[in-house]
Copies of this chain bind each other. A is one copy, B any other.
Amino acid sequence: MITLSIIGTGNVAFHLAHAFSTAQGINLQFVAGRNQKSLVDFKEFASTTTTLTKTHKSDVIIIAVSDVVISEICNELEGIDSLIVHTSGSTSIEVLNTLKRYGVFYPLQTFTKSKKLNYSKIPFCIEVKLEGDLSILKSLSESLNAESYAVNSTERAALHLAAVFSNNFSNHILTEAKQLCYDNGVSFNLLKPLLEETIEKAFALGPENSQTGPAKRGDTITIDKQLSALTRTGQRAIYNTLTQSILKHYE
């Protein structure tokens, strides 16, 4: 049995607390947050506390807070024997280097509080200072039936950046696509099969072998027609940048 505490009350903390509260071989002891209000939704998963020292006796402490607050939390945990990990994609393991035992437990997924997740489909990127601690992080991901991958801080930063492109930028493009549909009275839902196929093709054939459309074909007539149909400035900027990039990539 691994005893565990989580520090933080955001989306990542919420989903990890939810998952670990029912995981085999894990005893989720405390979720710690700034104030009682932020902890309300966590009461069903574990004991909640605003006193960080309560977490000190757990085998593992997961710090799931904003990147800029990690070092501040870290200061309050110095000297204790627990394995302490953060969950940030873009933050080096070294931010924790004043601790005895430390590491990273980064879930490569997008978290929204209201959206249920299949935890077994989250790849965990793990890194530890002391090699002996690797098996503990592996056990944590195994308890969620999830895969884990040993990834160093440089590789993790690259993965996080690739995730920003893949998720953040694609999702914003979908936001603009939905606006286009709305502005013209057509249903955004009609695009769902296209997007499912887009992802399937990107991983089956590779996105570089799946590109289609006017820019890939160098079809400047359609490009000009579509640009003049776009009335929103932000959409024109996105259309221009991506079209130029595709034209250059396949010229």
Contact = CB atoms under 8 A, between A and B. Distances in A.
Given A169-B238, A198-B166, A226 B158 contact: no
A244 B236 CA distance: 13
A216 B159 CA distance: 18
A80 to B, nearest CB: 28
Contact of A171 (B109, B196, B207, B235): B207
Q: Interface majority SS on A: helix, strand, loop or mixed?
A: helix
B208 A175 contact: yes
A176 B248 CA distance: 13
Nearest to A242: B169
A235 to B, nearest CB: 8
Interface of A: 11, 66-68, 90, 108-112, 114-115, 117, 121-123, 125, 149, 151, 154-155, 157-159, 161-178, 180-181, 183-186, 188-199, 201-217, 219, 221-222, 225-226, 229-230, 234-235, 237-239, 241-242, 244-246, 248-249
